[in-house]
Amino acid sequence: MKVLAAVKRVVDYNVRVRVRADGSGVDTANTRMAMNPFDETAIEEAVRLREAGTASEVVAVTVGDAGSEEVLRTALAFGADRALRVESDAPLEPLAVSKALAAVADREQPDLVLMGKQAIDDDSNQVGQMLACHLGWAQATFACAVTPADDELHVVREVDGGQRTVAVALPAVVTTELELNEPRYIKLPSIMKAKKQAIERLGLAEIAVDGSPRLELLGVSEPPPREAGEQVDSAAALVDRLKNEAQVI
């Protein structure tokens, strides 16, 4: 089985982002970037499938600018065999990303595409679903367990109020939850090795994908600051304040 794992470079989850003063977006200059945590579980799962002998090759792919090759190096350090970047200097919308990944899938012919259920920067949660649609493949989203069984995969999905196990025929697209696995600590020697590996590149034009935006961003703003709390002396005072001042009871 050949696995394609899609990864995205996002602002590190520990970083508190700042909205630009003019409200045109989030300031990412000099901001610490990292692999989208959901994609980490996807690449980890792909490498585990290969280590278990189920997968024969793991190819990591990302869509982005030259800086995003950093997450491909991380993917190689996790244990991916090859890495490929679809070049786009401007950030793409989910539809264009899904088309780019579909073109890559056409060239690579994987049996399984693994990717995070969403990226923590725009939280769109669309690319996996749209990719399955472009390819006409089966899809299993929100995976928290993946078990290969003959020509299909048994995938436990996180759904409202519980879990649902589905069987999908291959080829398929599976999007991952954080509960799927605990990504390994990357070894320093693996990072050193990954630095020296080649990364393949593919232009958007080469795969005939139109990256022009279809959405217009009107503005980005921070949530209003919360008023500071106040400590009251007694339960009676609390009830009084809730009743008469806040008027919630």
Partner 1 sequence: MGSEGAEREALGYDVVVVGGGPAGLATALHLVQQDGGEAPSVCVLEKGASIGAHLLSGAVVDPRGLDELLPDWRQRQAPVWVPAGQEVFRYLTGRRAWTLPTPPQMDSHGHYVGSLGELGQWLAEVAEAAGVEIYPGFPAAEVLYDDAGSVCGVATPDRGRQADGSPGPAFEPGVEIRARQTVLAEGAHGSLTQAVIGRFGLRREAQPQIYGLGIKELWEVAPERHDPGRVEHTVGWPLDTFTYGGGFCYHLDERRVAVGLVVGLDYENPYLSPFEELQRLKTHPAIRPLLEGGRRVGYGARVLPEGGWQSLPQLSFPGGVLVGDAAGFVDVPRIKGIHTAVKSGLLAAEAVQAALTEGQGEAADLGQRVEQSWLRAELRPVRNIRPAFRWGLLPGLAYAAAETYLLRGRAPWTLGHEPDHRQLKPAARCRPITYPKPDGRLTFDRTTSLFLANTNHEEGQPCHLVLDDPEIPTRVNWAIYHGPETRYCPAAVYDYEPDAQGQQRLRIEAINCLHCKACEIKDPAQNIRWTVPQGGDGPGYQGM
User: Which residues does 245 contact at the CB level (< 8 Å), separation at least 6?
Assistant: none
Query: Which 186-245 positions form the footprint of partner 1 (CB under 8 A)?
Result: 187-189, 191-192, 195, 225, 228
Candidates 118-126, 129-137, 156-164, 180-188; binding stretch for partner 1 (CB under 8 A): 180-188
Tell me: does residue 31 bind partner 1 (CB under 8 A).
yes
Do 44 and 51 form a contact (C-beta atoms < 8 A)?
A: no
What DSSP designation does 244 have? I
Pairing between strand 138-149 and 57-64?
A: unpaired
How far is the C-alpha of 49 from the C-alpha of 172, rounded, in Å? 15
Does 14 bind partner 1 (CB under 8 A)? Our answer is: yes
Decide whether 74 or 141 has the Cβ nearer to partner 1. 74
Asked if 51 is part of the footprint of partner 1 (rule: CB under 8 A), the reply reads no
Nearer CB in complex with partner 1: 125/190: 190
DSSP β-ladder status, 152-159 and 138-149: antiparallel
- 182 is a contact residue toward partner 1 (CB under 8 A): yes
Q: How many residues bind partner 1 (CB under 8 A)?
A: 21
CB-nearer residue toward partner 1: 16 or 214: 16
184 scored as a contact of partner 1 (CB under 8 A): yes
CB 7, CB 42: distance < 8 Å:
yes
Shorter beta-carbon distance to partner 1: residue 191 or 237: 191
Q: Which is nearer to partner 1, 73 or 85 (CB)?
A: 73
* Beta carbons within 8 Å of 6's beta carbon, 6+ residues apart: 39, 42, 60, 61, 62, 101, 113, 114, 115, 116, 127
The count of residues in the chain is 249
From the list 31-39, 101-109, 121-129, 170-178, the region that binds partner 1 by CB under 8 A is 31-39
